[in-house]
Each structure stands twice: as C-alpha cells, then as structure tokens.
Amino acid sequence: MSETDFSADRKWALETIDQAVLNGKLLDSTRENLVRWIREPQYEKSLPGILELLKAEEFGRLNDLFWEVINFGTGGRRGEMSDFGSATINERTIAESAHGLGSYFMHTNHDQPGRAVIAHDTRNRSPEFARLTATTLAAHGFEVFFFDTYRSTPELSFAVRHLNCDVGAMISASHNAPSDNGFKAYWGSGAQVLTPHDKGIIDAVYKASEIPTIDFNVAVQEGKIKILDSSIDDDYLAEVCKLSYSDKRDIVALFTPLHGVGETNVYDVLKQLGFDGLQIFEPHRQPDGNFSNVPDHLPNPERFEVFRPTLEPAAAMGAELILASDPDADRIAICVRNGAGEYIPVTGNQAGALIVDYLLRKRKAEGTLSPSHFIVETLVTTPLIADQGRKYNVKVVDDLLVGFKYIAQSMDNLGPDKFIFGAEESLGYLAGEYCRDKDAAVAAMYLMEYAAELKADSGKTLLDQLDELYREYGFYLEGQTSKICEGSDGQLQIQKLMKAFREQPPKELAGNRFLEVRDYETHEVRDLPNNSKSADLPEPAGNLMVFKLEGDAARFRIAVRPSGTEPKIKFYYFAQADVPVADQLDATKTTVREELTRLQESLNGWIDAQLS
C-alpha cells in the first residue's frame, strides 16, 4: 500500500469514527483511544485490523476494544486478550505495561535502571507475554531475572525480595476465563504496586510511543536476561516449610491445580512436609490455558463446580479433604468430608477463621503472642477473624480495601516480624515474612496440619471445629453475589448502580430496614433512610459502600463495590447471630440462612429494577 493510500485510509477511518459517535454507535472514550491508535505511528501495526472492523461496521466490537485504556485494578492489569485494542491484553498493551513499569521506576531512581524478575502462569500466550516483558525491561537497561517455565504468583513475590529486585511482573489473569490474561506489577517490597506507583505507571504507559526492545536470545547471550535455575524454587519451598507448626501428617487428601501452576508450590510443599496421603488429581494436572477438564472452563476455586470432577475419585480413595488452587496458585479452596461422606465446601471466610484459630492456639501455647502482634483482613472479610484476634489480645487491622496489596502494606507499616496472618474472603491468605502476596501453599499447609491434628487428638474434622468457633463466638454467615456487566455498556451499568446505591439506596429489603451506610468514596457515614451525613469517615479511600441493616434473625451488613479485575459489581452479605445455648446452633444456622437468602433475593429484584 502506498503512503497516499495509507493516508486516505486514515482520513476515511477518522471520518467514519466521528459519524459513528454522532449516531451513538461509538462512545466518546472509544473515539479518543481509536483516534490515537490510528494517528500515532507506534500503533501502525494495528491499523489494518482497525480498518477491517470499521468497514464491517463492527462498532460494538470497537467499543469493547477501545472504550478505555486498561488500568491497574486490585489485581493489576487484566482483561480479554486480543490482537489489538487499548482496553485489552495484547502485544502492544503488554509492552506498554513493561515500558511503563520500567520507565516509571527509572523516573523515581534518577533515570537509572534497576533489577527485575519476571514469571508467568500456564495461560495461553503467558510465555509470549513474559518474554516480551523481559525484553522490554532489558532494553531499558534492567538486569532481568527470568523464570523460563511457569511458576506461582507467590514465588514471584518471594523472588522480588530474595533477588533484591526493584520491580517484578507476573503474567497471569488468576481465575479468569481462558480468553483473558494480565500483567501484575510488583515493587521492590514484593507487593503489588500501590498509589502513587500505580498512577505513575499508567501515566508512563499512556505516554509510551516507541518502546525499546531486544531479541530475547541475544539478551540472554549478553547476560542482560538471566535464566533462573531450580535453586530459587528450593529456597522458596524451604521458607514456606519453615512456618509449619505440627508434625501430624495422617490425613488423606486429593489436590487439583485446575491445570495451573499449583503443583510447583502447593503440592511440592505438602509432599516435602511428608503428607504422604496426598494425591494429585491427574485430569487437572497438565498445564492447559484452556482449562479443558474444568467445568465451564472457569478455574475459580470459589465455585463448587470446579470440585465436581474430583468428588467420585476422592470418595474412592477415602479422601478427608479436597484442595483446589487457582491457575497462578495464590489462592486455595477446600472441601471437607462430613460424617455422611459428603464433601462440604468451606468458604474463604471459614477457612480464614480456621487458620487464625489454629495459629493463635499454636502461638499462645508456645508463648509467641503479644499485644504488638497483629492479624490483618479486608473490609469485606468475615468479622469472626477480628473477633478471634481481640479475644487473644492481639492487634487487629480490619479496615482495608479489597486487594492483598493493602495487607502487604500493613505488614510493612506495622512490622513484618509481628505479623501473624492476613486473610481475604476470596481465598487469599499469607503468614510469614518471605513474600508480600497471598500464597495457596502456606494456607494449604495450615489447613492440612489442623485437619491432621484434630483427627489425631479428638477424631474431629475442620467442620466440627468450625462449629466450635460458632458456639464460642456466635454464628457468622457470609455470602457474595455479582452482577456481570460486560463491555463498554457494562461500565455504564456499573456506574448507574453505584450512583443508585449512593444517592437513593433501598429503604428496606425483605423486611430488614437500612439504618446506615459507610461510604468510603465520599468519606461519610450517612443515616438511612434520609441519607444524611452523620459523621466523617477516615481512610481508606475507595469506591466501596457498607450498609448496616436491622434484622430479626441476625445483624446484617451489605457491602457494594465494582470489581477491580472483572466486569462486574460485587455484593457481599454478612450476618451475625448469637448462639445463646450450644445445642441451638443448628436451629440458628437454619434461621439465619433462610433470612439471608430472602435478603439476597430482594436485593436482586431491586438491582434489576434499577437497570430496567
């Protein structure tokens, strides 16, 4: 194509885009990003594909590809993979991400490059994107350490610290669908980037024009990229195993990595510790970015569906536990066999409370607890964890926004040597000082140890111990639902719902009156139903609202926030009820569950009405 024809195509494209905006077929934000990709030479490789979509009048697809410049959410930069598009994960946006991370660090370091470490999971295109990240940083002058095969996210966090790196990157989209991938950026502490670094990186991304690069093999030959050997794996596994509190190992369990990297951390840690009754679920063992044998190809261990293929094999081997890690193995879920032989899923909140119970008991027994020791959880994690900490007279941090990076920040602010445990409701847990991100391996170790100890000491299970906690602290029940709002139109729906909750929230749901809202974006506590400010609300700052309700069966709360990593708005439900007499626990459970179900159904109806 001649330069004249090329210019003519650009002119036609810009005119077509303007007309589509006037006709309401393209968003203004789509126009802004599309125009940049058409006009600026660094995006020239994508022009034929853009022209093809414009000629086919695929305006909906163009909105999906260009409605935003994909940002850094709670889990980094994550989204659908495509050949091009500012709102998707592709060769250009990955290179921009690496460039933004590298150039922003250099800006903060007197224009000097530093040291970086790169890892990836088993997703489609993850090795390609990891190499692209490595070559981009190497071309900037960074000394780059590279895992040449898949590893877990917590090992990447460990490696940042262990190798004394300034930055790190993990190519992963965690539990998302096979269509997605992502870029998690890490700072020198080993934690994912926080403000102001996240904004600084995305600003550098947006300013990117020509991005330097170097051939991967040449960079390796010249020593600019160093391939890591297995010694770092050994060091990581040793640090996790050091945190063991028990030598009880008599437990039979089945583990599924859901086609991800969990064999490299969860399975290897448990085997190294001597859990000989553990087997791996072979149909989910092979790395597979399509998650071929996972139901619905959705490898999220929060979904009980991922366990269904394991139930029959687990029963046949007499497994007392089934464990599942997500594809990058930073989160762990379990099912526990009850007395009837059924496998009962344990929620992230319940597993977190059990691990806290285990650790506080162990540390009290060995005399390593003090009022300066602390446990950490987010605002949408069960208050049972905080109540346990207060009973043991340790410090509790329970006012954090969603995102494990905030737990990591609290660790360093309060002193990692006093850190006991951090928990998120979405199956994220950490103990120890070896890394600054959640780790499925250390949580699996504690759950297996506690299960083995309970079995050896009293013949009880983790489910039995959970009931003991309820008898001691009261019954806690949590739930979560989401409204999926995909694409550019979905963002408008999310904004509309958040506006409705903020300005005209429900007065009651299923007979439960709304009493108060704590709005972390406006920094206000407001009385309901008049929605009038009653107090200031300090940090943290984020788009999160927590509603307090008056209920007959229990004390209820509902938290509402847009997801930072997926196209959805999330709703968290919390119920807490006293158990005045131990033998009334079952009746209390039934009553509270029924009431919470009615509350969820009523809220779903209100949400649908807002969007109609």
pLDDT at 393 over 90: yes
* CATH code that applies to domain 474-611: 3.30.530
Backbone angles phi, psi at 135, to 5 degrees: -70, -35
Residues annotated as catalytic (active site), given as ranges: 174
* Position 580 confidence tier, pLDDT thresholds 50, 70, 90: confident
Say yes or no: do domains 236-341 and 349-472 share a fold.
yes
* CATH code that applies to domain 90-228: 3.40.120.10
Instruction: State the amino acid at position 477 in one-letter form.
Output: L
pTM (predicted TM-score): 0.94
Q: Which residues of 201-214 are buried (b: 16+ CB within 10 A; e: fewer)?
A: bbebbeebeebebb
What residue ranges do the domains of the chain occupy? 1-67, 90-228, 236-341, 349-472, 474-611
* CATH code that applies to domain 349-472: 3.40.120.10
pLDDT tens digits for 30-88? 999 999 999 998 899 999 999 999 999 999 999 999 998 887 765 578 999 999 999 99
Q: Which residues of 546-574 are buried (b: 16+ CB within 10 A; e: fewer)?
A: bbbbebebbbbbbbbbbbbbbbbbbbbbb
Q: How far apart are the first and last CA of the chain?
A: 48
DSSP code string of 72-86: -BTTBEEEEB-SS-T
pLDDT tens digits for 437-479? 999 999 999 999 999 999 999 999 999 999 999 999 999 999 9
pLDDT tens digits for 473-521? 999 999 998 888 876 677 788 889 999 999 999 999 998 999 999 999 9
Angle (CA) 605-606-609 rounded to 5° is 90
pLDDT tens digits for 221-258? 999 999 999 999 999 999 999 999 999 999 999 999 99
Architecture field, domain 236-341: 3-Layer(aba) Sandwich (3.40)
CA distance 143 to 164: 11
